[in-house]
Amino acid sequence: MEITRRRLLVLLPAAAVAWKFVLAGTPEASPNYKLTEHWWGMLIDIPKCIGCGGCVRACAEENDVPEGYYRTWIERYHVTDWKIEKPEVESPNGGKQGFPLNQDSGGKNFFVPKLCNHCAESPCTQVCPVGATFVTPDGVVLVDKSYCLGCRYCVQACPYGCRFINPKTNTAEKCSLCYHRITKGLTTACCEVCPTGARQLADLKNPKDPIHEFLKTHTVQVLKPHMATGAKVFYNGMDGSVR
């Protein structure tokens, strides 16, 4: 076939379209779930948390988290009178087996569940040298195990201490917001088992999600707002001593 100017003009756009499909790779596995229709976060209602450790145990079971490492954990705060800058914080075994009885010594005591804040402007994904961790179009920070080198940059970049290196795989690991569950229409394992509703998964793009009414009517904060990470785990009733 002789390449004339006319044929070339037809072929070039066709080749461009074909190349776009090559770049796009394979289509998504779950056809009913649309990445662009969700923007995930979580609501933590501190006054409701009883520190039972159910979320920590469920997370470990659901995600095969190695013993001694935590994708989510619970901290018990003890604040004496005005000393909100020097709280006593403890988290024995991540709160997995609950908390030992403490003597009520007159201060303020409460539990704070922690997990990845799934930051929209996440510091951890920005430092990855190989593109092994990223924010998905639906707002979840994930790790691509097959791409991670285990360089630990992200572990020290996270201001919330939510990442660790899995001792078996030697790759970075963190809360995936149970991505395999939320894309199937389920809630996360921690929210599923929370007996008091202290943890609630929130789809910020869904106008019918009760999170919107809650945010409108409550005093809500994120952790370390001064770091401008775009954290999407919202804490209700959080004391100033929490960091």
Tell me how many residues contact another protein (CB under 8 A).
Answer: 59
* CB nearer another protein, residue 114 or residue 181: 181
One of 38, 40, 53, 65 touching another protein (CB under 8 A)? 53
Q: Does 119 bind another protein (CB under 8 A)?
A: no
One of 44, 116, 124, 132 touching another protein (CB under 8 A)? 132
CB of 27 to another protein, least distance (A): 9
Are the C-beta atoms of residues 186 and 201 closer than 8 Å to each other? no
Alpha-carbon distance of 65 to 77, in angstroms, equals 25
One of 9, 16, 23, 217 touching another protein (CB under 8 A)? 23
Give the alpha-carbon dihedral of 181, 186, 190, 196, to 10 degrees. 180
74-87 residues labelled b (16+ CB within 10 A) or e (exposed): bbbbbbeeeeeeeb
Q: CA 154, 62, 179, 208 torsion: positive or negative? A: negative
Residue bearing tokens 């639906």:
138
| CA 82 from centre of chain | 32
* CB nearer another protein, residue 35 or residue 228: 35
Contact track, another protein, 153-172, x by CB under 8 A: --------------------
Interacting residues toward another protein by CB under 8 A: 22-26, 28-30, 33, 35, 47-54, 58, 61-62, 76-78, 98-99, 101-104, 109-111, 131-137, 142, 144, 146-147, 176, 179-181, 183-184, 186-187, 189, 192-197
